[in-house]
């Protein structure tokens, strides 16, 4: 409960009573490494709050090539937002990269929580706003920054990412080949030593 409460308060001021009410709708679930939490083509009925572990969100492009679009770590929320909010088929997949513990809430329960109190509705609105803002920043970064700069910012934000996420997925996320990511890492290492 405390982890959730701390994370909730990062988004918006929420009363203890509202936080406890909201928390009561979450179910704790454990996922083994490589468990598929959401499959493209199915409706995202759940939102995941990560207590421990790492999730990866990805899709297949029109050529069938896998593309990583997001990672989520402790105290992050993750779902296919469009599928969850509109209850339509998901265009992404979500998989556990390591053994992961999540608090899981259904779309129906989220709607019930939001109807219960303006404070909870404000909390969920803020979570959605933050997810949308992060997605916009990610797109801007992809369109305006070279992969080396994107990687530098990713490592600054998540210093442990290379210990927790296989390099091939980080490369996919940056839109480069794994070999290119290796060269970027070597260049950054040389620069940091000089």
SS3 assignment, position 41: coil
The per-residue pLDDT for range 21-55, each reduced to its tens digit, is 999 999 999 999 999 999 999 999 999 999 999 99
In the chain, the percentage of residues whose pLDDT exceeds 70 is 99
Query: Is the confidence at residue 189, as pLDDT, over 90?
Result: no
- pLDDT bucket at 89, cuts 50 / 70 / 90: very high
Sign of the C-alpha dihedral computed for residues 113, 116, 120 and 125 taken in this order: positive
Instruction: Break the chain into its structural domains and give their ranges.
Output: 2-143, 145-194
The edge-to-edge listing of strands for the beta sheet with 27-31 is 27-31, 100-106, 46-52, 77-78
Judged against a pLDDT cut of 80, whether residue 124 lies above it is answered with yes
Domain range 2-143, its CATH number among 3.40.640.10, 3.30.565.10, 2.60.120.10, 3.30.70.260: 2.60.120.10
| C-alpha–C-alpha distance, residues 151 and 126, integer Å | 27
What pTM value is reported for the model?
A: 0.92
């Amino acid at each position: 409960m405390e982890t959730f409460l701390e994370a909730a308060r990062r988004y918006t001021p929420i009363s203890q009573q509202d936080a406890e009410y909201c928390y009561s709708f979450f179910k704790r679930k454990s996922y083994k490494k490589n468990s598929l939490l959401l499959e493209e083509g199915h409706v995202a009925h759940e939102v995941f709050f990560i207590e421990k572990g790492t999730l990866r969100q990805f899709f297949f492009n029109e050529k069938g090539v896998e593309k990583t679009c997001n990672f989520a770590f402790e105290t992050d929320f993750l779902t296919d937002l469009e599928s969850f909010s509109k209850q339509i088929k998901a265009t992404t997949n979500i998989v556990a990269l390591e053994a992961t513990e999540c608090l899981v809430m259904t779309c129906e329960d989220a709607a019930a929580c939001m109807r219960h109190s303006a404070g909870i509705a404000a909390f969920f609105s803020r979570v959605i706003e933050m997810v949308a803002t992060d997605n916009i920043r990610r797109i801007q970064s992809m369109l305006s920054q070279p992969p080396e700069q994107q990687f530098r910012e990713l490592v600054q934000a998540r210093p442990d990412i290379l210990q927790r996420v296989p390099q091939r997925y980080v490369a996919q996320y940056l839109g480069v080949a794994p070999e290119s990511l290796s060269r970027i890492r070597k260049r950054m290492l040389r620069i940091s030593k000089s």
